[in-house]
Structure formats: structure tokens, C-alpha cells
Amino acid sequence: MIVVMKPGATPEQVQHVVALVQDFGLKEHVISGTDRTVVACIGDKRTVDKGAIENAPMVERVVPILSPYKMASTEVKATKTEIAIGPAGFPMGGRRIGVIAGPCSVESREGFLRVAELAARAGCVGLRGGVYKPRTSPYSFQGLREKGFDVLVEARKLTGLAIVSEATGVEELAALVEVADVIQIGARNMQHYPLLEAAGKVNKPVLLKRGPSAMLEEWLLAAEYIINGGNRQVMLCERGIRTFEDYVRNTLPLAVVPELLERTHLPVLVDPSHGTGHSHLVPAMCRAAVAAGADGLLLEVHLDPEHALSDGAQSITPAALEEVMASLRKIAAAVGREA
Amino acid sequence: MIVVMKPGATPEQVQHVVALVQDFGLKEHVISGTDRTVVACIGDKRTVDKGAIENAPMVERVVPILSPYKMASTEVKATKTEIAIGPAGFPMGGRRIGVIAGPCSVESREGFLRVAELAARAGCVGLRGGVYKPRTSPYSFQGLREKGFDVLVEARKLTGLAIVSEATGVEELAALVEVADVIQIGARNMQHYPLLEAAGKVNKPVLLKRGPSAMLEEWLLAAEYIINGGNRQVMLCERGIRTFEDYVRNTLPLAVVPELLERTHLPVLVDPSHGTGHSHLVPAMCRAAVAAGADGLLLEVHLDPEHALSDGAQSITPAALEEVMASLRKIAAAVGREA
Amino acid sequence: MIVVMKPGATPEQVQHVVALVQDFGLKEHVISGTDRTVVACIGDKRTVDKGAIENAPMVERVVPILSPYKMASTEVKATKTEIAIGPAGFPMGGRRIGVIAGPCSVESREGFLRVAELAARAGCVGLRGGVYKPRTSPYSFQGLREKGFDVLVEARKLTGLAIVSEATGVEELAALVEVADVIQIGARNMQHYPLLEAAGKVNKPVLLKRGPSAMLEEWLLAAEYIINGGNRQVMLCERGIRTFEDYVRNTLPLAVVPELLERTHLPVLVDPSHGTGHSHLVPAMCRAAVAAGADGLLLEVHLDPEHALSDGAQSITPAALEEVMASLRKIAAAVGREA
Amino acid sequence: MIVVMKPGATPEQVQHVVALVQDFGLKEHVISGTDRTVVACIGDKRTVDKGAIENAPMVERVVPILSPYKMASTEVKATKTEIAIGPAGFPMGGRRIGVIAGPCSVESREGFLRVAELAARAGCVGLRGGVYKPRTSPYSFQGLREKGFDVLVEARKLTGLAIVSEATGVEELAALVEVADVIQIGARNMQHYPLLEAAGKVNKPVLLKRGPSAMLEEWLLAAEYIINGGNRQVMLCERGIRTFEDYVRNTLPLAVVPELLERTHLPVLVDPSHGTGHSHLVPAMCRAAVAAGADGLLLEVHLDPEHALSDGAQSITPAALEEVMASLRKIAAAVGREA
């Protein structure tokens, strides 16, 4: 942590900051520059509220130096984490790109099983399907809830795909863990700490989506909550951020992929469906995500997007999925991987 | 809802959209313009997923016309809602500006009671104090949790102030309702629907903060979840949005205040502490918020901000609070109110 | 400047950075912490490209310490700058709030003179009126250009108000300086450096609007260009930033006002017309801006907003202006000023 | 254009809007829905200021239907535009991806010629090199200006590459047109209309960068200014937008590529150097951009990025360029193109 004093700070004011720094159990190092004095602080600073010092007289600002996350970081674990998902134990984070596809929500047994078969045939390794749906409006379709469980299990039996499904609250987690292979924590819950802590106690991989306005560090700290709770099987999934752009539902910032690959050992997935919000943009962004280095994709596929009960605009058809998968195989090869 | 066809759409493609519209139980109205055909749809459209139609061939986009929220809207209830809070039943949303102040989190009995007394003396009507703290890092101070309950109760007895405290999950709600006068739902939980639904079942006012990237409609729909659940006592609190600005923790968009006053009958509060993140900006933004028409303020006050365990940088001292309150009385008078 | 090394940087890599720092004429100061080594650099660093060092092996990031602007800063000049505008020499930046009002563009002689009279009667000190209009679309009304000059001059004679008008390019500046009292540089030109440099050579006050995505420092550096060119009469005008919010044309971040009052000695104005984009939000934001400490306002007023050739949605009527001015007088008094 | 009335609008208020619509030369179409009345307006509406109507009593909002740009649109010209650049007439917008590389600014003759040779050898088709540099700070290196012309010409002779160089103002355009093959209009000048108009009069291709907060339509309207002025040789270049993300200089929104390919016939380039701001992210984003469908890339390359006078942090070395080009050839093949 570096404390920058305002120009004109007196020796007493600098000394006051030094005393605060020592209160926090850190060692200070005062550097007097041409225009300003800065106080560099040495020690493990992860638990200190840096804001506290900002309030001292004549402090201009406090610059944190240490990344606040630890166990998610390549500083602590340099080798890539591979996470085995589903009955087949597909290694997410390995050489092969793992594509997880399926409808936003399970709407009917027949429809879901049909999508499952087509996804498996197209080469996907996971099947997404929400039974608990977090919906912006209380008047929208909220999912089949527990009534959807049997269909999830049946789809896995039928196809061998890993079932990926979202828990929208702590109270749903225990039951969902019994039927799903991967627990999804959605963008709106990225900072719902009771859920993160509960996810740290389960023995299933967790797919953690980035919140639409989450800083990179906040996202990694959310992963840290889960790991810190005892569950090291965390996958990150970028699904777009909220910006001023209006031709997309979210802006998909793909540079996050190479940045994460450098900062963390966790597998990195991309969701081009939420990441764009429009099916005509999805195939190109699938290709771009894999070219950028993503370990996997999360895709919304619906038999009849025009009649989907949720996320119809961003769902592609099984036929489009097949084309996407074919092109991904080429892109993956171009970057030395498989799909 | 207006469906805009791309230029060159054939009569068959328009007819396909008309059929979809009728499927949804809406009545269509086709208008052929110079460059484009649009299909206006008449009926109650709140439950339709507009995205579904966007996927039909040659549809350019779908423009929703109806506000998706109802019960929070001035269309349904034109008169301002006043919500009585605390032992004194202070009417939030009435002529007098209600200021709620206190530390980010309850750290100690003595400190909290002292702040409570000073807040009461300064003219505040509510006392904020978190016992459950949602913290970005798992390594930060997480609040006293249930051990803080007695202090909350004692502070209310001592001062008569309304106790405002945050529930960070459904599981905390039942206990917190017994001790707090107002349940706060924080920015990170604005779209945690299980909590919104649970808050709809309690018989205490709810203070609902805006999420840092929430659209106005998403915020009002979150309020709608609570009202729809049965609890009409909802107050809205703007606490800043996430933008590119870096001299503030959040950008405080005060135009939201007059906009909300036109769209909703619910009381509107502003939190200039989170809304700026820096104590030196708080007093000016308190004045600006009241001048813009806010019904109340939520303020972080700490006896010794330099040593606060959380949010030190944005906490003002009790002495600064007293000055702020004095200036707010003048501003309130200037806009025909009291503080 | 602080250079933060990645964990695991070797002594040779640190030494390489030290050599680079010395190349730049700075003195280094190496601090070895628990997890990381940082190199603090001492000296005047305004002309160094910090990015250069970021490229050295094992450098994590470079943190600038010094504000890159100088002459706009309170560090160099602590006393507030007052700028006399118009025939009456109204002191912008002084105790009295200066309101500049008028139509977006001069559309007709009669209309403009009538607005001028009403603005003067309402207590305004300046009259805005564009003759060169930067328009997003080439198909929109582009202003009267030089044909509007006579009307500007006539309006000043009639009312004594200071004429504020925008130069959209270097080539227009010379002529405009002859007729206007204040040269406006619009948001879209905030980083058009040839215009900033040219404005540094004229002997008229300049009103510099913030660009819709400009950082605070970029804005102050744009002012620095003008001051550095020789013209110290610069006023800053916040007009809203581009964010994800969609109920406004721009988000008006009023915390910029107290922040600027601390960082710079230049007068600070606010434009609630562009800052909201909707006339129904303008009066409340005028009050909020003055309560936040603004030295002046820039307002769009039109006799018949429904038929305005540009910016109709955000223009208020002369009758609304009169009411706004009355309420501003009360707000100004509440913050110890006049309007 | 659709005018949405507020609920409760009287027939007289609707009639008032109808009269306004007719004033604008449009034909109206009134539709009375369950909750609201809307007035659909038919006719060519590009020159109407929609805001004007928003000000009429009980109008809730005005929804534009027609894209405001014309000549840049695939509605007017469906076939892709290919633009021949440089002595070799490389067809930008054709099957082969065109990579333009070089330093941010020309710093010395030797360095520039060396980079030119290496860029040519690596397979680039254009050479970037600024002589006029728009710099945020007046204290930064401002470019060689006219003194750099000879070096540009020499580099073209030496390598046959197309010279791409930025005009930062109208006054520089005439001279630059004589030496450069492609005139770049930078992000900060995207809405500097005098420059756009002047660029419409020259007989050289123009590379128009997106402004950091420009909406897609604003960008296409800026292109429309140039085309409308008479110059149809416009290439678009995405270089990142300003968002809350702080690990990048700008957020690179690659979904803009497939969206533009659908909306416009103009070639679409991507600048991953400015689009990320950090050299370690550039190679992955080059690959992603081509996978997303980009027609070309604009890249900053420097012999010694650690000592670059500008943009050092985002410049890659010639050796890195060579590797990037090799991987791009594979990605291009994967999407059915060449590089």
C-alpha cells in the first residue's frame, strides 16, 4: 500500500500517517519527492481497510499494491486447474474446449431431451438448463423449480452430458447439488456472499459468472470466497458487462480472457449468448472467444427460439449450434487446441 | 410492443410475425411506412418474452411500450406513499426530509451508542448500523452478526431513532425483523429474488438500494417483487452507479431523483456516502440530493473514521454531520420542505 | 511514479527497471516488501511516458503519483479565479451564481431577441446561442453560421448580456472572437487539440465543456492546453457523461463540482440541459448543481420547444426559466451565495 | 417514429401531437391500446428533431424507427465495399485480412524504416506512423509534424506498404493527403465535423476510428458525413470504448464486428493496441478480432517499446508481430479467409 500525501503536508501530518500505518501492524517507508511525500507500507495488508488512512489530514489517496485475492491467483498456484465435470469427467481447463449448451430454462421434458440429444451429437460436453430462474420481472416465467429435477437426471442418463444448473439462493443449493453436475452461480448473485459461502461447502464444481458491473478483482474475490470455504473446483464465466452500448444486451469484453489466464489458474469460460443478447451475433463471438483463449463456452440453444419462455432473442437453434461447433473445431486447431 | 421489420420484409414474413403476436394473445396492427413495416401490438404484454419475436425472420427489433412494473408506478397509485418508520413513526416520504445516519457496521457497543446519541441530537430520524456485512473480500471484517442485536435494541431505546440494518440473505431476515425497524436490502442484493420475495412477506419497511449497474426499470421491478409479495412499505435508495469515473467510488446520478418522483409513489432516498466514496464530497452531495427533491438521506458517520473497520474513507465525523444537518435545514426550506 | 514488480522478479529485473528510471532522469528508491518489490521514482515526471516502463520484464504496473496538470491546479494557484464576462464584466467564479441561458441555436432574429429579453429579465448574466452547430447527423440543421453574427451583436446591445457561442473548429475562431464574449468549446471538441491551442491565443474567456467520456484529469489537461497557450480565462462546464442509464441523455455526475472546487481554481459551471436531455428534469438539476457548489449554469431555453430545430426535448420555456431563477435565489442563499 | 402518450392522455392532447406530426410533413396513425395511445408516424423522418415532440403535453417518449444513416447502410448498398490502399492497391474489405502495423509516432528515420521493413517482411499491407500526435497532455511529445513527411515517403518507397497517418485537424489535411495513402481520423476527432467534411473532399481512403463513447449510430453518421461530402472510401476501425474496467486502457467490444458487417458495407478494422492498452493482451485480441470477422487490424509495433515516446505499454516488438501474423494466417484460414 502506498499513501500519497498532498503537496504541503507537514512533517507532523506525515508522522500521523506513519503512526496509523504502524497501528495496522505494517512497516512504513517514507519517501520525500520533489512535489510530494509518499509513505510506502510493507507487510501483509489484505485485512486492512485502506479507506481508513485516506481520511487522515493531507492524505491525497491510498494506492493498494497487493492483489486482494490469493488462492485464485497464479502467484499461489502457477499450474492450470483442470476440473472434471459430469459422468464422463470432461476436464474443463484442459486442451480441449468444453462447450456447454442448452436452453435458458427447462420448459418441457420432450423439448429438453431433444435439445440434449442434439447438443451431445454436436459435440458438446455439458448441458445447461435452469430450473430456478432469476427473472427481472415478477410477472415472467420463473422456471419449473423442483419439478424439473427428473428431467435433468433423465437428460444426463440419455446423453452422458454434464448437467449445469443455477442455484439462485442458498436454500436451493442442497437439493440442486443432488441432481446437477455443475452448480451455476449467476451474474446477479456474484456478490451474494451467503451463496458463495454455501458453495464453498459443496462437493461439486461451481461455474461462477461475472456480475455485469464487477471489476476483475471483485470477481476473483468472489471465487476466493468459494475456494476459501473449501471448494477448489471453481470455473469463471464471462457473460458481458453493462456499458452504454445499445445494439447488444451486454458488452462482451474478450480481453478479460487473456488477462484471466495470466492472473488465475482457474478455467475461463465465455457466454456469448448473454454476452451479446442477439442470436445473430453469437456464432462470431463463439469463434472470437475460443481464438482469445477461452477454455469453454456456455451457449443458449432452443428448438424454437421464437416461442422460448425466456431469452429467446439470444438463443440459437440446434442447426446453428452444429455449424458453430464445426467452425470452432477449426479455430481451436488454429490456436493449438481441440473442440 | 412495436415490432419493427427490416426493409425488404415480404408480406409473408410480416404475416408470420402477426401470427406470433396472435399466439401471445395480443392484437396486431400493421403499419406500412415509407421504408419499413411495423407491427404494433395491443393488449397486456407484461408476461410476454419480447425476445421471442425478435428471432423471427426479417424482424429488426422489438420496442416495448408498456412499463413492466405496475404497483410501484404512479400510473396505478398517483398519491405519494408515506412510510412510518421507527418508534416515533417518522413519515418518510412526507414534507420533512428524513436523515438516517450511523456507522457502516456496528463495531462496539460504546461507539455505536455514542454515534446514536450524536445522530439524534443532530436531528436525524434513523440510525444505520450493519451487523451482517457483505464484504467484497473474504478476508475483511464481516460484522458482529447476531452479537450486534442487543446493541441495536439498546440504541433505539436510548434515542428513539428508527434502526436501519441490512439483511444479506433470506436466512438472516427472520431474526433481523425482530430487532430492526427498517430492513435494508443492499446494492449487491437488489436482484437477489429469494430475498426480495422474503421481504415481501415481512411486516417491516424495506429500504431497497439500487444495484450499481441497475437500469431504472430493473430497480422498480425489484421493488415490484416486494410489493407483489405483499409488503407495500418500500423505500428506494440511490447509492451511485458504476461508470468510468475514477475520482469517486461510484457516480451519483441525481437526476434519478426527479425522474423517480414522476414515475413512482415510493419515497426516494440518496446515499451520498457510497454515492461518492470520499468524505470530502459527502456534504455537498447531501445538499444537492435534497435540492433535487430527495425525501431522505442515508449517511455513514463514524467517531473515528481513520480507524473504521469498513468504509472509513466515506464516513464523516459527528461534527461534520451536525454542520451538514444545519445546511440541509436551509436547503430544505429553499425547496419548500423541512429537515 | 511507483513501478510495481511482479512477485518473483529477480534482482536483475529490478535493476533493469532502475536503469530505465535513471534513463528518464529520475531518481529511484527500491523497496522490498513481503510479496513484492516496488521502485519509487523521484523527480518531475510529467513528460515521461510511463507505459514505456510497463513493458520491462516482470513489471506488473506503473502507478503515477503526480497530477499531470499544473497551471489549472490549486497546487500552483490556490485562490479562486474570477473571470469577467460580457459588457457588464460579470465575475464568473465570484459570490454570485452566473446563469447563462438561451436557445441551442440561433434560429431567427425575432425569436432570439425575444429570448434574450426574457433571459435578461429573469436575471441571467449571459446569453447562449449557437451559430455553428456540431450535429451528429449531416442531415440535421447546421446553424445560421456567419449569418447569425448580427443577431448576436444586436442581442448584446439590447440586453447587455454576455454572448456565449461555440466555435466548432479553428477556422471559425477568428471570426467568432469578434462577436462573442465567451467562446464555447463543446464536449465533442474537448480533445481537439488544434482548437485548444488556438483558444490559448485569443483574448476572450473560454467555456470548456467536459467530453462525455473524459476522465477528470483529461478535462483538466484540456484546460491546461488553453492556459499553456497563454489564455488564463478558462471556465469548466460539466454537461453529463455517457453511461448505461437510458432515462437520461447523459448522466450528470454532480460530485464533480466539489471535487473540481478542490482541485482547480477555475470557475465551474453545470449544464443541466445536456446533462439530462429532458426538460422535466432540468429545474431540479439546476437546484442540485447550485447546492453542490456550482459557480454558474448553462441552460437551453426556447420560446416554443415543440418546434425547436435542435435540442427541443431538453429546452425549457422562458416561463419555466423564471421559476427556476426564483428557486435558485433561495438555494444560493442557503449555501451563502446569491443568484 | 412512434410517439408514445402517457396513460390518461386526453383526445385533445393526442390531437395536438397529431397536428405537430403533420407540421413536420409526416402522416400519422393513431393506435389506442389497453393502457396507452401511440401515434405512429409515416414518412421520411431523418431531418426531424424528434425531441421537439417529446415536449408536447402528456407525451411519454418518442421512439425513432428509421436508422439515421443512409449511404453507409447495407439498406442502400448491399455489396461489400472494397477499398484499394497504397501503391499495391491492397483491397481492404476483400478476402484477405489486411494488417497495418507500425509505431504510434514516427520518432526517427532509422527506427521507422527498420520497423517498416520488418512489418513488410511479416506480411503486413500497411504501415502506421503518426507525425501529428494528439496528446492528452500539452507536456507530452507532439510528433515530428511536417518534418516526418520525408520519412513516410521513404518508407513507402522502401517497402511498398500503404502509409496510414493521422490528420488531427483540417489545417493538416491538405499536406498530409500528398504523402499518406490512408488518412486516419482518430477517436478523439470522430465527431469533429469540420474534419469529417474536409475528409469528404479528398481523394484518399479514410480510416475512421470509433470515439471512446460513441454509439454505433453516431459512428456510422460520422462515416456518413464523409461519404455525404463525396468520399466513398471510408474504413471503420474499432479501438475500444471507455467503461468501468481498469485492467485495460479501453474495453474492446468485438461484437461490434459482426454487427457492423450486417449494418454497413464498409470495411471493418480493429485496433487491439488501443483496444487493450497492454502489449500482453494484444496477440490474443488480434486472433479474436479476425475470428470475429474483422477485415483488417491496426497494430502498434516498436523496436524498443520500453523507450517509446508514446504508447509504449501497448506496443509489441517486431518479433511478436511475426508470431502474431503466423497465428493469424491459421485463424484466417479457419474462417475461410487469408492473412
Q: What is the pLDDT of residues B312-324, one digit of tens each?
A: 889 999 999 999 9
Residues 208-267 of D with CB under 8 A from A: 213, 215-216, 241, 243-248, 251-259, 262
Residue D164, strand partner residues: D128, D182
Alpha carbon separation from C255 to B187, B289, C74 (Å, rounded) = 20, 11, 18
What confidence tier does A36 reach under pLDDT thresholds 50, 70, 90?
Answer: confident
Per-chain mean pLDDT for chain D: 93
What are the grid coordinates assigned to B4, written together? 419493427
What confidence tier does D47 reach under pLDDT thresholds 50, 70, 90?
Answer: low
Mean pLDDT value across residues D124-141: 89
Query: What is the predicted pLDDT for the residue at D140?
Result: 83
Q: Is the pLDDT of residue A258 over 70?
A: yes
What confidence tier does D45 reach under pLDDT thresholds 50, 70, 90?
Answer: low
C336 touches chain D (CB under 8 A): no
Mean pLDDT value across residues B227-241: 97
Nearest in space to A260 (alpha carbons), one of A286, A283, A225, A234: A234
Q: What's the rounded Cα separation, in Å, for the pair B245 and C12?
A: 37
Query: What is the predicted pLDDT for the residue at A47?
Result: 66
What are the grid coordinates assigned to A77, written together? 498456484
C34 touches chain A (CB under 8 A): yes
Is-contact A324 A118, C-beta < 8 A?
A: no
Q: What's the rounded Cα separation, in Å, for the pair C234 and C223?
A: 7
More confident site: D252 or D46: D252
DSSP-derived secondary structure for B194-244 = HHHHHHTTSSS-EEEEPPTT--HHHHHHHHHHHHHHT---EEEEE--B--S
Task: Flag if B169 and A192 touch (Cβ within 8 Å).
Answer: yes
Query: What is the predicted pLDDT for the residue at A334?
Result: 98
With vertex at residue A270, the alpha carbon angle to CA A268 and CA A275, rounded to the nearest 5 degrees, is: 150
Q: What's the rounded Cα separation, in Å, for the pair C181 and C92?
A: 13
What are the grid coordinates assigned to D323, written together? 508470431
The least confident of A148-157, B291-300, D135-144, D211-220 is: D135-144
- Pinpoint the residues of chain B covered by CATH 3.30.70.1140: 2-63
Nearest in space to A260 (alpha carbons), one of D247, D145, B222: D247
DSSP state of B306: G
Element (H, E) at D242: none
Sort A79 into a burial class: Cβ within 10 Å, 0-12 / 13-18 / 19+.
Answer: exposed
Is-contact C270 C238, C-beta < 8 A?
A: yes
Is-contact A152 A179, C-beta < 8 A?
A: yes
What confidence tier does D135 reach under pLDDT thresholds 50, 70, 90?
Answer: confident
Is-contact D286 D324, C-beta < 8 A?
A: yes
Full-model pTM: 0.95
Query: What is the predicted pLDDT for the residue at B294?
Result: 98
Sort A11 into a burial class: Cβ within 10 Å, 0-12 / 13-18 / 19+.
Answer: exposed
The least confident of A16-20, C85-89, D46-50, D293-297 is: D46-50
Query: What is the CATH number that goes with domain D2-63?
Result: 3.30.70.1140
Residue of A47, A189, A305 with shortest CB distance to B139 = A47
What confidence tier does B190 reach under pLDDT thresholds 50, 70, 90?
Answer: very high
Query: What is the predicted pLDDT for the residue at A44?
Result: 65
Query: What is the predicted pLDDT for the residue at C336?
Result: 97
Q: How many CB atoms lie within 10 A of CB A64?
A: 15
In chain D, which residues have their Cβ closer than 8 Å to the Cβ of B35?
44, 66, 75
DSSP-derived secondary structure for A31-97 = EE-SS-EEEEEES--TTS-HHHHHTSTTEEEEE--S-S--TTBTTT--SPP-EEETTTTEEETSSBP
Q: How many CB atoms lie within 10 A of CB B111?
A: 17
Query: What is the predicted pLDDT for the residue at B149?
Result: 94
Rounded (10°) CA dihedral A292, A296, A298, A302: 100
The least confident of A113-122, D70-79, D268-277 is: D70-79
Query: What is the predicted pLDDT for the residue at D242?
Result: 98
Q: Is the pLDDT of residue D252 over 80?
A: yes
Alpha carbon separation from B247 to A216, B223, C253, C292 (Å, rounded) = 19, 30, 11, 16
A2 touches chain C (CB under 8 A): yes
Sort A154 into a burial class: Cβ within 10 Å, 0-12 / 13-18 / 19+.
Answer: middle
B125 in the Ramachandran plot: left (φ > 0), alpha (ψ -120 to 50) or beta? alpha
Question: β-strands A83-85, A37-42: how paired?
Answer: unpaired
Element (H, E) at C115: helix C109-122
Q: What are phi and psi of B162, to 5 degrees?
A: -75, 130
Is-contact D42 B30, C-beta < 8 A?
A: no
Give the CATH fold of the A83-334 domain: TIM Barrel (3.20.20)
More confident site: C80 or D4: C80
Q: What's the rounded Cα separation, in Å, for the pair A282 and A269?
A: 14
Mean pLDDT value across residues D167-180: 94
Query: What is the predicted pLDDT for the residue at D318?
Result: 97
Task: Flag if A254 and D252 touch (Cβ within 8 Å).
Answer: yes
Query: What is the predicted pLDDT for the residue at C80?
Result: 97
Task: Flag if D66 and B244 touch (Cβ within 8 Å).
Answer: no
Q: What's the rounded Cα separation, in Å, for the pair C208 and C182?
A: 10
Query: What is the predicted pLDDT for the residue at A34?
Result: 73
Label each residue of chain B as H, E or C: CEEEECCCCCHHHHHHHHHHHHHCCCEEEEEECCCCEEEEEECCCCCCCHHHHHCCCCEEEEECCCCCCCCCECCCCCCCCCEEECCCCEEECCCECEEEEECCECCCHHHHHHHHHHHHHHCCCEEECECCCCCCCCCCCCCCHHHHHHHHHHHHHHHCCEEEEECCCHHHHHHHHHHCCEEEECHHHCCCHHHHHHHCCCCCCEEEECCCCCCHHHHHHHHHHHHHHCCCCEEEEECCECCCCCCCCCECECCHHHHHHHHECCCEEECHHHHHCCHHHHHHHHHHHHHCCCCEEEEEECCCHHHCCCCHHHCECHHHHHHHHHHHHHHHHHCCCEC
Q: How many CB pairs under 8 A join A and D?
A: 136
Per-residue pLDDT of chain C (339 residues; tens, 9 = 90+): 889 898 889 999 999 999 998 988 888 889 887 778 889 888 766 666 777 788 888 998 888 887 778 899 998 899 999 999 999 999 999 999 999 999 999 999 999 999 999 999 999 999 999 999 888 888 888 888 888 999 999 999 999 999 999 999 999 999 999 999 999 999 999 999 999 999 999 999 999 999 999 999 999 999 999 999 999 999 999 999 999 999 999 999 999 999 999 999 999 999 999 999 999 999 999 999 999 999 999 999 999 998 888 888 899 999 999 999 999 999 999 999 999
The model's pLDDT over B154-186, given as tens digits with 9 standing for 90+, comes to: 999 999 999 999 999 999 999 999 999 999 999
Q: Distance between the two ends of chain D, CA-based, in angstroms?
A: 43
Q: What's the rounded Cα separation, in Å, for the pair C73 and B212?
A: 31
More confident site: C49 or D227: D227
Q: What's the rounded Cα separation, in Å, for the pair D150 and A26?
A: 57
Query: What is the predicted pLDDT for the residue at D112?
Result: 96
What confidence tier does A222 reach under pLDDT thresholds 50, 70, 90?
Answer: very high
Task: Flag if B36 and D242 touch (Cβ within 8 Å).
Answer: no
Q: What is the largest CA-CA distance in chain C?
A: 76
Q: Is the pLDDT of residue B12 over 90?
A: yes
Mean pLDDT value across residues A111-119: 97
C91 touches chain D (CB under 8 A): no
Radius of gyration of chain D (CA): 23
Q: Is the pLDDT of residue D159 over 90?
A: yes
Task: Flag if C291 and B293 touch (Cβ within 8 Å).
Answer: no
Query: What is the predicted pLDDT for the residue at B67?
Result: 76
Task: Flag if D33 and B2 touch (Cβ within 8 Å).
Answer: no
Task: Flag if C40 and A38 touch (Cβ within 8 Å).
Answer: yes
Q: Is the pLDDT of residue A280 over 80?
A: yes
Is-contact C45 C34, C-beta < 8 A?
A: no
Nearest chain C residue to A41, by CA: C33
Task: Flag if C255 and B284 touch (Cβ within 8 Å).
Answer: yes
Residue A20, strand partner residues: none
Mean pLDDT value across residues D5-10: 89
Q: How many CB atoms lie within 10 A of CB D110?
A: 10
Is-contact D301 D115, C-beta < 8 A?
A: yes
Q: What is the largest CA-CA distance in chain B?
A: 76
What confidence tier does B54 reach under pLDDT thresholds 50, 70, 90?
Answer: confident
Q: What's the rounded Cα separation, in Å, for the pair D193 and B320?
A: 48
Residue C145, classed as helix, strand or coil, is helix
Q: Is the pLDDT of residue B45 over 70?
A: no
What confidence tier does D101 reach under pLDDT thresholds 50, 70, 90?
Answer: very high
What confidence tier does D339 reach under pLDDT thresholds 50, 70, 90?
Answer: very high
